[in-house]
Amino acid sequence: DWLILHDAVIVCGKKEVHVPLKKRMLVVKGDDYVSRLKVVSCMKVKKYVDRGSYLFVAQVVEKEPIERRLEDVSIIRKFPNVFPEDLPGLLPPQQVEFEIELVPGAAPVACAPYRLAPSEMKELAKQLQELLDKGFIRPSLSPWGAPVLFVKKKEGSFCMCIDYRELNKLTIKNRYPLLRIDDLFDQLQGS
C-alpha cells in the first residue's frame, strides 16, 4: 500500500495528506472550494424566475439505454458466415445418426392436442409453415405425437413449446458418472 510505504498521514478535517520527504514534509491539499450549486425543484425555479433572480438551470434526465444488436458485436462482424441471420436448413447427414433409446416394449405415445385460442392457432400455422419452408421439419405419418402449446413472451410474440413429458417417461436416460475435481487433482499430484 502506497500510504504505508511512504508513512503518509491523512488529515480528513483539512483535506490534506502529509508525506515525509527526506527532511521536509510534503503537504498535498485537497480542493477547498465549496460548491454553491443546489438541486432545486421546478416550483423553486419558478419562484426565483418570478422574483427576477439571475440563475442558470440545468435539467438532468436519465439516459435511455442503448439497444444492443448482434451486429454490434465485433466477433459476429468478423465471422458473418458462422453467424448467419437465418439458418439455411438442417445439417448435412452425420456419420452417427441421432436416435432416442426407448424402454424395451414401449408403445408409441400420441397425446391429444391441447385446445388453442384462435390467435394461437393462427400463430401455429404461421410457425409450422415457416419451419417447413426452411426445411427444419417435414410432414410425418409417425404414430408418435406430442401436443403443442404457446407461451407469450414479454414483447408480446408467442414462443412455441412442445410437451414431450409422455415421451420422456419412455426414454432411457443417459447416465454418466461425473468426475470429482478433487479426485482429479489427487491423481495429477504425482505428475
pLDDT tens sequence across 106-161: 999 988 899 999 999 999 999 999 999 888 888 989 898 899 999 999 988 899 99
- Residues 24-42 as b/e (b if ≥16 CB within 10 A, e otherwise) read eeeeeeeeeeeeeeeeeee
- Does one domain contain both 40 and 104? no
Under 8 Å between Cβ of 83 and 70: yes
Q: The pTM is what?
A: 0.48
| Same domain, residue pair 54 and 107 | no
Task: State how many domains the chain has.
Answer: 2
Q: Both 108 and 187 in a single domain?
A: yes
Would 78 be classed as within a structural domain?
no
Residue 35 pLDDT > 70: no
Question: Which residue range(s) make up the domain with 40?
Answer: 1-60
